[in-house]
Amino acid sequence: MKWEVIFEPKNLELFGSGILTTLGLLFSSLGIGAVLALVFALLLTGPWAAARWIVGSYTYVIRGTPLLIQVYLIYYGLGQLEWIQQRWDSVWPWTHFKEPFFCALLAFSLNTAGYTAEMLAGAIRETHAGEIEAGQAYGMGRVQVMLRIVLPSAMRRTLPAYSNEVVMMLQSTSLASAVPSMMDVTAVASRIYSDYYLPFEAYLAAAAIYLVATFCLVGVFRLAERKFLAHLAPRKS
């Protein structure tokens, strides 16, 4: 195996830019997706039946279709519609649909929003009635109870499941290589493979990068769980 090829300066630079693209896509989609998920979760657990049906249908479709298909539909579907192409030089937000990063970011954000919204909505529904009654006993209204008691409690309890979602999103960013001109870690490995015909070295290097990133993310969430879920840990006798 010719590992020296991977460590050539130009290839290391390629992997460096690929790591930045992957992490930028990951954290940007997680940030946008978290905001959307919070709104969707509130609608899913709110009193408006129409909103619950619309958001529920959205999350069902998102969770029932492959992420790769969603990426294709946005980049090769929406981004290639003549109606959008006529406007993507001058009319916002269609101006962004000619940018590969935006199309990938939109697909990943909508995807993680669907999964996270259902997790958060489930945690909101499972909030102990005693917590809500305690807030009401203090004279809090519905909105105050939601903001001060239900949401903080639900977010803490969602941490373990959300950590899995973040790790899955990290690994799913490899699908961004399906979008032309997107040079993430997987795309860099594919380029090195095509240039040097070294599939094992190229993809093993990419796998190692994903493994290290996963290890770091899991460590961060373990620390967060110890801090925010310490009250749920078994008590030592």
Per-residue pLDDT, 46: 87
The CA distance from 172 to 169, in Å, is: 5
Q: To the nearest 5 percent, what fractions of the chain are helix, strand and coil?
A: 85, 0, 15
The answer to whether 108 and 172 are in contact (CB under 8 A) is yes
Question: Half-sphere exposure of residue 68, counting CA atoms within 13 Å on the CB side?
Answer: 5
Pair of tokens at residue 20 = 């930045």
Identity of residue 28: S
Per-residue pLDDT, 169: 95
pTM: 0.88
Cβ neighbours of residue 72 under 8 Å, at least 6 residues apart? Answer: 178
Domains and CATH numbers, the chain: 3-231 (1.10.3720.10)
At 186-209, the pLDDT tens digits run 999 999 998 888 889 999 999 999
The CA distance from 106 to 120, in Å, is: 21
Per-residue pLDDT, 56: 95
CB count, 10 Å around CB of 230? 8
- Of all residues in the chain, what percent carry a pLDDT higher than 90? 52
At 126-178, the pLDDT tens digits run 888 888 888 888 888 888 888 888 888 889 889 989 999 999 999 999 998 88
Average pLDDT, the chain: 88
